[in-house]
A and B are shown apart, each in its own frame.
Chain A
Amino acid sequence: MLRAENIWKVYNPGGKDQVVAIRDLNLQVGENEFVSIIGPSGCGKSTFLLMAAGLDEPSAGKLLFEGQQVEGPSAKRGMVFQSYTLYPWLTVAENIRFALQKSGMELSAQKSLVEEFISLVGLRGFENAYPNQLSGGMRQRVAIARALVYRPQMLLMDEPFGALDAQTRRLMQELLLNAWETHRTTVLFVTHDIEEALLLSDRVYVMTARPGTIKAEIRVHLPRPRQVEMETSPAFLALRKQLLGLIKEEVTPHL
């Protein structure tokens, strides 16, 4: 579904302050697959995600979505950021419905869909609350509902739980798993949390430190549906150890 071939990102090419952020990156994400990219900070994983959304351009290489070159953002690829991107002047329900305005659906159909997704992320009773009245975890739940409700073919998530505390993060991961089981879609998920990547993904790409490129690809053979409790299973722990080793090699020389 998404295929990146020899992607480079170079800032100020040829200049004295030339920075190679991404170097010859190749990856692919299949239909309805949940794929994570994990790597040290500054490795270019978020930049790549912006490119996949069409919000940034590669300096070289081919980026194909459904066989076609990605050119600019579109409603086919939804995005969830780490920072809060809810519209503060709209209520929870209005925020979610905002994403449907280009869907061509009738208002009544929009409203029932919005209600369905509010239940999905467990925000019943908060329909008319403004984002300022919500906790960080609740806001990200709205952001996820908003990104799912208009059924983009692919969901791009840039450390969506990075700003949350550890307990909330666990709950959000379960919620996302549950939402994904109900509404299967293709997900490309960027994180630097190893457990998070393993728990959620079918495959995990490990990136090197800057200039970032794919260092390893790990298939996560854990049965679905998954729960947070799986994190203590021997299979999970073995994968975790393997990933930890790969990441450590990248982070240690930069400490």
Chain B
Amino acid sequence: MNLPPLIKRKRRLLDLRADIPPALYAGAGAAFIAVFFLAWWLVTSLGWVQPIFLPPPSAVVQEVVSQFQAGTLWVDVRASVYRISVGWILSTLFALPIGILMGNFRFFEGLFEPFIDFVRYMPAVAFVPLTILWAGVGDSQKFIILFIGTFFQQVLMVMDNVKTVPYEMIQVSYTFGLSKWEILRKVILPAALPGIWDTLRITLGWAWTYLVVAELVAANVGLGYRIMRAQRFLQTDTIILGILVIGILGLITDYVFKFAYRALFRWAERRM
């Protein structure tokens, strides 16, 4: 088709909600991270801050190499990933059925919600001394802290995910002759699943916080433990490495969940 001479669209970078080229979007994110590391490198190499408070990036790189060779990094990561997996899965195993019941039946909502709201405001950190008395300093104490920190938020979020399924969708399903259990299984669950998946992703991120809390106090291995021990010897490079590793692990799990979401719930994406 013969087009008339086209008017060149003005590029408006900062219009409200306006789209920008994808390359610019991704590039800006990468550039910001680069600037962050550059600033870090600058303030340390120019001697503006003492290495004891903020070591240069090179010291952290050296620390990676030495921990890698000594094998401690791998041991810590493995211990922490194991604890977070068990604690989070345990919480999820309880939160899913209870949250689904609460979202569908007002009785269960009335039964559990006041108690959950009550416990939810208790800081998980405050349970650390108690859990050590209960379960000692082994892995099970970490699981309990992770459970307390995760479950009470997760269960309410699952309940809300279930409640987003429109009531008319349930009503119309009755008119096809389905029983309420069939509707629960064949309609409500698949409809709520993308939301639940996002809840799982978000709560796994929160679980990292509680993991470090649990490991800071009573542990002899794990990323949180490594950070805590390094503080005693003023090894700021070790501390920063530990924090960075947790950030990277969190980022990886987040992206795994996001990619799986796109693969599992293609229907949930808007394409028109």
Contacts and interface: CB of A to CB of B under 8 A. Distances in A.
A216 B137 CA distance: 79
B172 interface: yes
- Interface size bracket, B side: 20 to 34
Given A89-B191, A134-B272, 8 more contacts: A73-B175, A74-B175, A75-B175, A78-B175, A79-B172, A87-B169, A89-B267, A132-B272
B56 to A, nearest CB: 50
A98 interface: yes
B123 interface: no
A132 B191 CA distance: 13
B175 A87 contact: no
B184 interface: no
Contacts of B270: 132
A98 B171 contact: no
A74 B175 CA distance: 5
Dominant secondary structure at the A interface: loop
Contacts of A90: 267
Tell me if B's interface is mostly helix, strand, loop or mixed.
Answer: helix
A241 interface: no
Contacts of A224: none
B272 A133 contact: yes
Contacts of B22: none
B9 interface: no
A85 B272 contact: no
A86 to B, nearest CB: 8
A152 interface: yes
B171 A79 contact: yes
B268 A79 contact: no
Interface residues of A, number: 32
B176 interface: yes
Given A102-B177, A132-B272, A133-B272, A88 B172 contact: no
Contacts of B174: 53-55, 72-73
A98 B172 CA distance: 11
A72 B174 CA distance: 9
A77 interface: yes
Given A85-B166, A87-B190, A77 B175 contact: yes
A236 interface: no
A150 B166 contact: no
Contacts of B166: 83, 85
B272 A152 contact: no
B172 A81 contact: yes
Nearest to A132: B270
11 contacts: A54-B174, A73-B171, A79-B171, A81-B172, A83-B168, A88-B191, A88-B268, A90-B267, A132-B269, A132-B272, A134-B272
A72, A74, A134, most chain B CB atoms within 10 A:
A74
Interface string B183-206: 000010011010000000000000
B176 A98 contact: yes
* Residue from the set B265, B267, B270 with the largest chain A CB neighbour count within 10 Å: B267
A85 B172 contact: yes
Contacts of A85: 166, 168-169, 171-172
Interface in A132-187: 132-135, 147, 150, 152
Nearest to B194: A89
Contacts of B176: 75, 78, 98-99, 101-102, 150
